Structure 1
Amino acid sequence: MTSQPQTPPILPSTAVHLQAAIAAAQAGSRVPSLSAAVVRDGNVVWSGVRGTAVREGEDRRPTPDTQYRIGSLTKMLTAALVMQLVDEGVLDLADTVGKHVPEGPFAEATIRGLLSHAAGLPAEPAGPWWERSPGGSYEELAAANADASLVLSPGERHHYSNLSYAMLGRVVEGLCGAPWRDVLADRILVPLGMTRTTYDAVTPYADGYAVEALTGMLVAEPHQVTGAMAPAGQLWSTPADLCLWLAELARPTLLSDRVITAMTTPQSGDPDERGTESYGLGVRLPVAGERVLAGHGGSMPGFLAGAWVDRESGVGAVVLANTAYGLDVGGLPRTLIETVLAHEPVIVPEWTPTGELPDGVRELLGTWHWGHHPFTMAYDGKVLSLAADGGRAFRFAPAGADTWTGLSGYQLGETLRVVRREDGTISHLDIGTFCYTRIPYDPSVPIPGA
């Protein structure tokens, strides 16, 4: 992992607001112990802890290094493994599970469908409650689910499925020839420096609890090793370690930009959410005011976890707690993020003049018409932009002689082709068969229906 430049810590005046937020959450939700951290520009800039009930029979505060179980935050890391293999050409998102794991159930489910919880699989595997039961082998899991059927048609809508991620872990094992936990360590955890993210708990770690509603007394929850279900929710971690993963989501150094873009692009949704949240490839994408966050929530018996980042600003937050219910692990990290951005707003980089224009750019600048609708072509020092007043704007990157590739909106991935006359002057622009001309409906340009 490429080291990040050091970022100044949070101001003391901001830290007071952050500490107040976690204090109110810990007391109001009656959380035995809670640990939180904020990441900005790839560095942990604040951390805080609350509570005293960390381990059974002990009365002491957590430290920033105390591990908590992170539940479904594990899915983001499993998805990263899968997407690495896709990026390397070993796997395709359109592949079916049966192509790589012929001995398992749901052979027709696609890798994309499993990653995005859109394959229609059941939410939970058949058999005993997996989070509270000793985990078995994949062969045992496959046998228990051999007669299971889809609960929804593939692609119909988002339907969260822990079983999907057990199957993805098995795909990784088959392609890499090693256990999921070892592949995860070699490919993700070690390169990112996530030394406190582990399969089993490593001291210091918290015990999981439920809190009796009427007395406030603690009830110990079980710690089970989940076996074949591990890729869905096994891992233990710390806020600082998970900040390294949020930094990767915001400004990738290990994974490619293509992988992170795919993971954070909406793939499925639940109409009951009314557009407030979608799911990418292993990553939840909730709308938070003017922002769209990327991350995940998680739970295991006695534990709650949330890790979210605003990719645009690079500010993210992690909250881990050893409680079974009550703490809003989506809302509290969002509060921490918004607090930082409100008190310490991001300063945008200075604008600098364009040094020189590449060959062929100047003749493309100015007004073009789509029918009678005028657009302005400009250059920002890196890419072309074609924008209508009060309307759509498209960006294009150079792709070769007289060709540009669309970077945004309707023209994403489309080719802008400069069409020239015999004398070399520009006749018009062709963007996916749409003709843009210097004058409205230029009679010298073959525009259908003009």
Structure 2
Amino acid sequence: MTLRMSSKAAKCAAIVGLWLAGAGSAGSQDATPTATAAPASVAPAASTPPARPARPAIRRVAPAATAAVAPPTVPALPGVAPLPAPELEAFVDGAVRRAMADEHIAGVTLSVVQNGQVVLKKGYGAASLTRGRPVDPDRTLFRIGSISKTFTWIALQNEIDAGRIRPDAPINVYLPEKLQVRDQGKKTPVRVRDLYTHTPGFEDRTLGQLFERDERRVRPLEVYLRQERPNRVREPGQLPAYSNYGVALVGAALANTGAKPFEDLIAERVIIPAGLTRTTFREPRAWREDLPAPMAPALAADLAEGYRWTPLGLEAQPVEFIGQIAPAGSASSTAADMARYMTLLLNGGTIDGRTVFSPRAAQAFRTASYRPAAGAAGWNAGFQDIPLPGGRRGFGHAGATLWFHSNMVLVPDLGLGIFISVNTDTGQDLPATLPAAIVERFYAPARAVPNFTRLSPDAALAYEGDYLTDRRAYGGLEGFVDRLIGVATVRASAQGGLAITSDGRTRLWVPTDREDVFKAADGADVLVFQRQDGAVARFFAPSGASAYERVGPMFQQGMLGGVAVLAALASIATLAGVFVRSRRDTRQTTSQARASLLQTTQAVLWLAAMACVALFAAGSGDVAGVVFGWPSGWLLTASACAFIATLLSLVTLGMIPIVWRGGRRVDSWTELRKLSFTITALIFIAFAIVLAAWGFLEFWNT
């Protein structure tokens, strides 16, 4: 699925530094400016590993080999030279081998089609290291994540074409009553169109519910949708915010109108008619009466294992179950089947004389149905609108689970389709960059040195600031984590453009001849800012998956970090004072003694909260542990400690006048101690206010 999960878990370690030092953080995963398919390097540099794994074997298939069911022959497009198969294979081999070595990838599967023919189809490395099973592009199934959504959109467009579903109708019309979207104070109902343009106005909650490690915890789709309702945080149609939940609602609507489980419906209406014999939305688990049938044993035996890179090498991971939200991401497929699927999409919905979807639907998948602003990336009836080198545009979808990363890019004016998938958590860059790199290598002119009008310091200042993704949880502990990792920092670059840091990386953007529109210095991506009342308010991620909204001082990480440092120092000083005060300094009234005890208790609680956050962050490198173990016991404890400390801080604040009034001079605090107490109380209350605004005190909201 196009998810933030692996990125979210891996970046939680930044929390400690942000609490204690106000350092900058990484941004949100696939929705960030650095997570798009830029045609820069296909083999990004990586730090030197403790030990490099042996070079995985490559399963070779003749470049022109076809799938089990031969795709139709489509005439070459006028003026487009077909890809030279040997050169393509050599180029791809080099890119994949470098990435596998540098990014520690266990296995890769890919296919390239053009004009109805399979130009390249290959498997690299291991589908299973423990069983010594190589990747076979014809047999090995990879989890394709959010590419699954494109099957859902085909089924939806068929219903729209048949008149059984109307795009401008509320989705509630097609849902059973128990699954219908509640208004939650919003005036406008969520329409079908809002779901395939990812503009329903939902928050995005993922931790602890989107994946399951224990198959006994997998829930039926309708139960998941009822139990995991997201909050509606804005009116629909206003801003893009990628929503897996929204796609699952569409799947439930299709199942409801079709009167059969989604897995059965998608197989009957898309997978089987398309001749995809090794593609399925089912998962390898035991039979259960309340769930759709599991994956066929013959397919399950060929499913690639997912891997995590550790300092000790590649570590096989258990199956990640996504069946509870199947329409959004549970599909598995082979490179051969995906070659056939891409041929279907490029051929207007027909294959082997069968029509899977109409020409009208085919055109919808290639035409922007929503753009948040002129020039910004949008959505083509659920498919991503993809800028490519040479001024070309494609459509398709990327996908990610915890351990698999995939991408499918289709370029109609080249008759070209590219699919690639990897089965290792560290391998996201290869699928993100290889399709654009192929287009650039064979169909784009050599990249010139950018020639652009430089931004003046005053002009750059209008864009500088911290921006927060709108694809996030909006409250509670997950909301707190998302506020930390979902930030993109915009600064003026030395070259006269903008440098945007997110997801731990910095990317340079240069101005175009259009105001508020920037182009990536290293690729074809476009970044569009939007103004409100003349001031820059947000920008739209090049992937089209989210908007980044400018945040004020209260929600800047420097504010959180600075107040956290002050609170830590004040807590340490408070505890130290208990042991270092002279006998004279211990003279106090009864009220002052109580106030001192309250403040000392707060200091212990604040330090305990910070220690618990540190322990959570120390273990956050274990992606599965964070995802499957949410809500974290350490964070819950930290939040509860901070909540109690906040209540005590309010009481202490009210005791300041009593402390200052004191008693007789010889039985009361010194002026210096009164001042210290007051300053400490104000620091603690300021810290509590900031944490409350960030959602950290809501330990009951996970």
Whether 1:59 aligns to 2:132 is yes
What is residue 98 of structure 2 aligned with on the other side?
24
Which one-letter code corresponds to 2:380 in the other structure?
Answer: G
Alignment of 1:230-309 (within 5 A): 230-252=326-348, 253=350, 254-269=356-371, 275=375, 277-289=377-389, 290-309=391-410
Query: Which stretches of structure 1, 4 residues or more, deviate above 6 A after TM superposition?
Result: 6-9
Change (3 A) 1:105 1:220: farther
Any residues of structure 2 matched to 1:77-92 within 5 Å, and which? 77-92=151-166
Q: Tell me the amino acid that sits aligned with residue 207 of structure 1.
A: E
- Partner of residue 129, structure 1: 209
Question: What is the DSSP-based 3-state SS (H/G/I as helix, E as strand, rest coil) of the residue aligned with 2:233?
Answer: coil
Query: Are 1:106 and 2:186 counterparts?
Result: no
**1 or 2, which has the higher strand percentage?**
1
Distance in 2 (CA, whole Å) between partners of 1:278 and 1:330 is: 18
The Cα shift of 1:91 comes to 0.6
- In structure 2, the residue matched to 1:116 is 197
Question: Could you tell me which residue of structure 2 aligns to residue 165 of structure 1?
Answer: 247
Q: 1:150-178 CA distances to partner (integer Å, 9 max, x unpaired)?
A: 12321111100000111111001011111
Equivalent pair of 1:49/1:63 in contact (CA under 8 Å): yes
Q: Percent identity of the aligned residues? A: 25
* 54-63 vs 333-342, greater mean Cα deviation: 333-342
Contact 2:320 2:402 survives alignment (8 Å): no
Question: Residues 317 and 337 of structure 1 are in contact (CA less than 8 Å); yes or no, is this contact kept in structure 2?
Answer: no
1:19 offset after TM fit, Å?
1.7
Amino acid at match of 2:275: G
Check whether the contact 2:85–2:120 (CA below 8 A) recurs between aligned residues: no
Contact 2:222 2:252 in 1 (8 A): no
Partner of 1:177: 259
Structure 1, 65-74 or 247-256: larger mean CA deviation: 247-256
Superposed CA deviations along residues 267-324 of structure 1, whole A, max 9, x for unmatched, are: 34467xx946322222111211211111111111211111111011111111111012
Matched, 1:220 2:302: no
Greater relative contact order (CA < 8 Å, ≥ 6 in sequence): 2
1:118/1:268 contact within 8 Å kept:
no
CA drift at 1:242: 1.4
The within-5 A match list for 1:249-398 is 249-252=345-348, 253=350, 254-269=356-371, 275=375, 277-289=377-389, 290-328=391-429, 329-341=431-443
The residue number in structure 2 matching 1:195 is 277
Residue ranges of structure 1 left out of the alignment (5+ in a row)? 344-450
What amino acid is the match of 2:208?
Answer: P
Q: 1:114 to 1:2 in 2, by over 3 A?
A: farther
CA distance in 1, matches of 2:236, 2:334: 36
Q: 2:109 matched to 1:35?
A: yes
Structure whose CA Rg is larger: 2
Shift of 1:210: 1.2
- Structure 1 residues 141 and 13: CA distance shift in structure 2, 3 A: closer
How far the C-alpha of 1:56 sits from its partner, in A, is 4.9
**Aligned match of 1:434:** none
Comparing both structures, which one devotes a greater share of its residues to helix? 2
What is the CA–CA distance in structure 1 between the aligned matches of 2:208 and 2:220, rounded to whole Å? 14
TM-score by structure 2 length? 0.45
What is the DSSP-based 3-state SS (H/G/I as helix, E as strand, rest coil) of the residue aligned with 1:295?
strand
TM-score by structure 1 length? 0.69
- Judged with a 3 Å threshold, the aligned counterparts in structure 2 of structure 1 residues 187 and 91 are, in CA distance, closer, same or farther, namely same
Q: CA RMSD in A?
A: 2.5
Paired residue type of 2:270: I
Question: Structure 1 residues 188 and 337, CA, compared in 2 at 3 Å: closer, same or farther?
Answer: farther
Query: Does the Cα contact within 8 Å between 1:238 and 1:320 map onto a contact in 2?
Result: no
Are residues 337 and 193 of structure 1, via their aligned partners in 2, closer, same or farther at CA, if it must alter by over 3 Å? farther
Alpha-carbon distance between aligned partners in 1 of 2:239 and 2:70, rounded to the nearest angstrom: 38
Other structure's SS at 1:131 match: coil
What are the superposed Cα offsets for residues 74-112 of structure 1, whole Å, 9 maximum, x if unpaired? 001011101110011111101212111132142521111
| Aligned partners of 1:25 and 1:332 also within 8 Å | no
Q: Secondary structure at the match of 2:112?
A: strand
Q: Aligned partners of 1:140, 1:13: CA distance in 2, in Å?
A: 51
**How many angstroms apart in 1 are the aligned matches of 2:99 and 2:155?**
34
SS in 1 for 2:273: helix
CA contact (8 A) 2:388 2:439 kept: no
Contact 2:104–2:426 (8 Å) recurs in 1: no
Shift of 1:333: 2.1
Matches of 1:325 and 1:132, distance apart in 2? 20
Contact 2:148 2:329 in 1 (8 A): yes
| One-letter amino acid of the counterpart of residue 303, structure 1 | F
Q: Is the 8 A contact 1:119 1:153 kept in 2?
A: yes
Q: 1:42 to 1:122 in 2, by over 3 A?
A: farther
